[in-house]
Each structure stands twice: as C-alpha cells, then as structure tokens.
Chains A and B, each alone.
Chain A
Amino acid sequence: MAAIAVFLIAEAIPALQANNSSFLTELLWTPNNTPPVFGIGALAFGTIMSSALALAMAMPVAVGVALFISHYAPRKIAGALGYVVDLLAAVPSVVYGLWGVIFLVPFMQGPSEFLNEYLGWFPLFSGDPVVGRSMLTAAIVLAIMILPIIAAISREVFLQVPRMNEEAALALGATRWEMIKMAVLPFGRPGVMSAAMLGLGRAMGETIAVALIFPATFGITFGILGPNGNSIAANIALGFAEAGEVGRGALIASGLVLFIITLVVNMAARMIIARRSGASA
C-alpha cells in the first residue's frame, strides 16, 4: 500500500510541477495543452456529489432489503432471496455502464423533465436544459451498484440481533415494526453506518459505469438534471488514451487524491465497527 502511494507520487510530481494552476482548486483539466492547466476541483466535486446522491438513494432501499430478508420474508425463501440481491453485485460494472447508457439514459428523460417541472424550485432539480445523460442517471447506476454490499452487511448485523431482545420487545406488546425500531435498528446502527461508508467508498472508486454515462464536463453545478457531471475515476478512464506525458502524470495525481479519499472513508468504516466491538466486548 505504501508502495502504491510512493509510485503514484513519484509519477505525479513532474506533472504537478509543470502545472500552471493550483491543482487543488482549478476546475479545468487541460494537462495536454501548453502550458498545462489542470486541477482536481470539478472532478472531486463530481465524485463526492455523485457518490453522496447514490448513497442517499441506496440507503433506504438497502436497509429495507436487509430487513425484508432478515425479518419479513418467510424463512424458507429468505436465503434464496438474499442470493438474488447478491447477484446484483456479481454483474460487472461495464455491463451496468452499457445498460445505463443505452437503456437508462433515454429512459430518464421523462422522469427528469417531470422532476424539473414540478420540483424545479429545489436547487438540485433546477436548471435548463434537462437531459437523460445527467448526474442523476449516473448516481442511480451507482446506487444500484452499491446497494448489494450495503444490504448484505446490514442483513448480517440485523440477523445478529439477540433473539432474546426481539422477544423482549414483542412481549411488551410491540408490533413487528415497533420491535424492529426498539431492538433491531439501535443494535444494528453501527453496522449499517459502516456498511454505508463502505458503499460510499465503492461509489467513489467506481469507474467504468460512470465513465460511460457522465457527460464529462468540468464545472461545479448543483443541478443534477443537466448535462453536467464527471468524476476522478471516470476522468482517468476517459482521458487516459489521449494523455501525453504530463497528462498521465496529472491523471495519476488525481488517482492519488481518489486513493486518499477512499482510504479515509474505508478507515472510518472500519473504525465504526472496531469501536462497536470494543464496546460490547
């Protein structure tokens, strides 16, 4: 891991030195021009924005799926249903990308216009023009891709809730939902939170699916329905083939930033779990 960092830094330095702008704040990405100008600003924004949106969409569904399998579905078929959700994770990301760009992009045109028309007062849904190939569509694909891992981890922690605590809640006259609220969710919260962090890390690092969908623009726009959007990972995939020497170094520098962000997110996830197991031991 240290080796990864060292080699990435070593290859990034010359490009950073050639850069004619501030790497951290510049929005443009034109490292192959003379003089080269590039910065991580727009890309980091797109990465965080798309991942946060994806997480916001995936979380409720994933927790619902986990509860469905752990506490609602008939026992006999729960295992098989869990396997169906795991299959979602087995679909390669390039296939999601293909599906996203050929099917979901045109499909999203209508719903996006609808959102824009009726909820346009809300900054996220504002703006003109409205297209299918947008930040929202990319985030939906990301949400689908991170859903299985969040659902799988949440399901495991929900199944670990001591049976006796669930029975205690039921014996107090709780309905199933009240039992879940009383015994299952509080017990599972740290596990679900760390699952969310892991999912966030996945979403940030996801490359190919979003590279096919993102319009690959360089700017910071809050409207998620317009033809905007890019991410560090997608930019590496798309920019690599045409990159010259400085361009490659610039991409490596951006990869380093991605590496650090995901590292922090993943460490946070581990820390949540570690703190929990330390407390209950």
Chain B
Amino acid sequence: MSIQTLSTGRRAKDLTVRCLVYLAFAVAVIPLVSVIYLVIKNGMARFDFDFLYRSMKNIGPRDAGGGAYHAILGTLQQVGLASLMSVPIGILTAIYLVEYGGKGRLANAIRFFVDVMTGIPSVVAGLFILAFWVLFLDLNYSGFAGALALSVLMMPTVVRSAEEMLKLVPDDLREASYALGVPKWRTIVKVVLPTALTGIVTGVMLAVARVTGETAPLLLTVFFTDSINANPFTNAQMGLPLFVFDQAGRPNDTAIDRAWAGALTLILIVMLLNLVARLIAYWRSPARGR
C-alpha cells in the first residue's frame, strides 16, 4: 500500500468530536422543546374566554378564574407607544449615520453610544426611567413611563438594524438618482428607503418582539394593578410579562395556571412577531440562505 491509512486514534478523535457537536445541538434544543411543550400543555388549562376578556379585579388570592385582559391591553399600549417613539427616531438616526454622518466624529460617537446602549441590562433602563420620570420629575408610575423604558431598549436595536439595511443599498442607485438631478433628501425618500424598507421592517418587528417580552423595566415603571386602566398616561398599568411574573410568584395553583396561560399568550404574540419578521426577510430574498 502506498496510501498510508489514517490512524485509529485520529479517526476516533474525529468521530468523537462529531458526536459532541451533534450532542451540543441536541442539548441546546432540549430546553426549547421543554419550554414550549410545558407552556402549551399548562397554558391551555386557563387559555379561555375569561382569561382573555377579564381582569384580576375582585379575584381573591386563592380564587380560580380571573384573566389577563388588563395586562394584554397594557402591553399593547406600552409596546405601541414605545414603537411610536423609538422607530422614527431610530430610523432617522440610522439615516443620519449612513447618508450624512459618514465617518465624521459625531457619527462615530453616536455609533459608539448605540453600541454600548445595546448592551445595557433592561433593569437598568427601567431604573433610569424610574429615576428620571418618577423620582426626578415627580410624575406617576404609568404605562407611558413603561413605554419610555422600553423605547430606551428598542432604540439601539432599531438604529443598528436600520443602519445595516441602509448600508446594503448599493451606491450606484444613489448616484443614478443624483445624476438625474434629484436632491439628496428626495433620493433618500424615493430611492433609498423603499429599497431598504423590507429589511428595516424586519428589524423593527424583531425589536418589537424583543421588548414585548421585557419584564424588568415595566416592573419599575408601570408598577402593578389588578384592574383595567385604559389610559396609559395616568396611574399604574399592568403588562403581560409583569402579569406572568406576578402570578408565578404566588403560592397557589390557580395563580400558577394563570401564569402559564399568560406565558402562552406572551409566547404566541412574540413568536408571531418573529415569524412575520422572518417571513418578510425570507420573502425579500428567496434565494438566500446557507
């Protein structure tokens, strides 16, 4: 034989690593399966009409029944308000960074802050709004304060993803538009933004999905309530993640059942947002993928 064979040791090592790598993937997927299975199984018990359309008002500590309507309503308002604040600002910042800022000092400073902001713990964002809004301005806990905290978390994600998408727009496109004598702002509005739109929408939806599940900032800014408060600008509100946290910390099974049902609702909302975002991204580039 002129071809030397591979030594058993090397072959065994290669095989071992292959097995370990497959195992790692399995280990990573087990919790996901377990979480989703348990949330669906336990969540179904109370995922009913009452849960979706009633609040916790007048529900005693040991009572069954009750619902998360007040929390779902609160979450929708808080996330909606947060998006209203952070999406325009985030996209405008990204446009500034890509189209105007270039490599200038201000643009780099903004990029640096955005980078660092991406990493701040959500509880710190909550503390910040607490310190600023509730303690310094002496305003009330409210859904709006929660929305402020959420937008602190959302803004950097929106800026980053929108920036990436705008950078993907080829320069040729811009130059072609300038060559036709179209002013810069019109080029951005008519050419650059439409080209990057689906990507930006995907990024925004992922950011929305992320903050929808945030609990800690709400805890410090909207406080708790068991009743429906449809006005996000005054007094304590509830949020769905907060509802889950609150119920999960109670000792009775009826509360735990409500917590699971809340978790199921929350996961449905978040996964739906994720799925739609991915579908938009996929539909935009059907040929992509590794």
Residue positions of A touching B, CB distance < 8 A? 1, 3-4, 7-8, 10-11, 60-65, 67-69, 72-73, 75, 78-79, 81-85, 87-88, 90-99, 101-103, 144, 147, 151, 159, 175-178, 180, 198, 201-202, 204-208, 211-212, 233, 236-237, 240-241, 248, 251-252, 255, 258-259, 262-263, 265-267, 269-270
Contacts and interface: CB of A to CB of B under 8 A. Distances in A.
Nearest to A63: B24
Interface in B18-41: 18, 20-25, 27-29, 31-32, 34-36, 38-39
A11 B136 contact: yes
A279 B35 CA distance: 42
B28 A207 contact: no
Interface stretch (B55-63, B193-201, B262-270): B262-270
Interface stretch (B98-106, B124-132, B169-177): B124-132
A82 B14 CA distance: 23
Contacts of B128: 3-4, 7-8
A205 B259 contact: no
9 contacts: A64-B20, A64-B25, A90-B210, A92-B212, A92-B267, A98-B244, A233-B121, A236-B220, A248-B135
Given A92-B270, A96-B35, A212 B22 contact: no
A180 B124 CA distance: 40
Nearest to B35: A99
Contacts of B13: 175, 177
B27 A61 contact: yes
Among all A-B residue pairs, the 6 with the closest Cβ atoms: A205-B121, A64-B24, A92-B213, A266-B119, A207-B216, A175-B14
Secondary structure class of chain A's binding surface, majority of residues? helix
A262 B120 contact: yes
B69 to A, nearest CB: 18
Contacts of A266: 115-116, 118-119
Q: Residue among A202, A207, A259 with the most chain B CB within 10 A? A: A207
Nearest to A266: B119
Contact of B24 (A11, A68, A269): A68
A255 B124 contact: yes
B256 interface: yes
Contacts of A251: 127
B260 interface: yes
A208 B245 contact: yes
Contacts of B27: 61, 64
Contacts of B266: 92, 94-95
Contacts of B113: 1
Interface string B176-207: 00000000000000000000000000000000
Interface of B: 6, 10-11, 13-14, 17-18, 20-25, 27-29, 31-32, 34-36, 38-39, 42, 113, 115-125, 127-128, 130-132, 135-136, 209-210, 212-216, 219-220, 224, 241, 244-245, 248-249, 256, 259-260, 263, 266-267, 270-271, 274, 278, 289-290
Q: Which of B130, B216, B241, B263 has the most CB of A within 10 A?
A: B216
Contact of B270 (A90, A103, A259): A90
B20 A88 contact: no
A266 B116 CA distance: 7
Nearest to B241: A94
Contacts of A69: 25
Nearest to B277: A90
B260 A88 contact: no
B85 to A, nearest CB: 16
A11 B38 contact: no
A241 B246 CA distance: 11
B122 A205 contact: yes
B86 to A, nearest CB: 16
Contacts of A79: 289-290
B18 A177 contact: yes
Residue with the highest number of chain B CB atoms closer than 10 Å, among A93, A233, A255: A255
Contacts of B216: 207-208, 233, 236-237
Contacts of A206: 121
B104 to A, nearest CB: 18
A151 B122 CA distance: 21
Contacts of A95: 35, 39, 213, 244, 263, 266-267
Given A1-B113, A79-B290, A252-B131, A97 B245 contact: yes
A258 B25 contact: no
Contacts of B256: 102
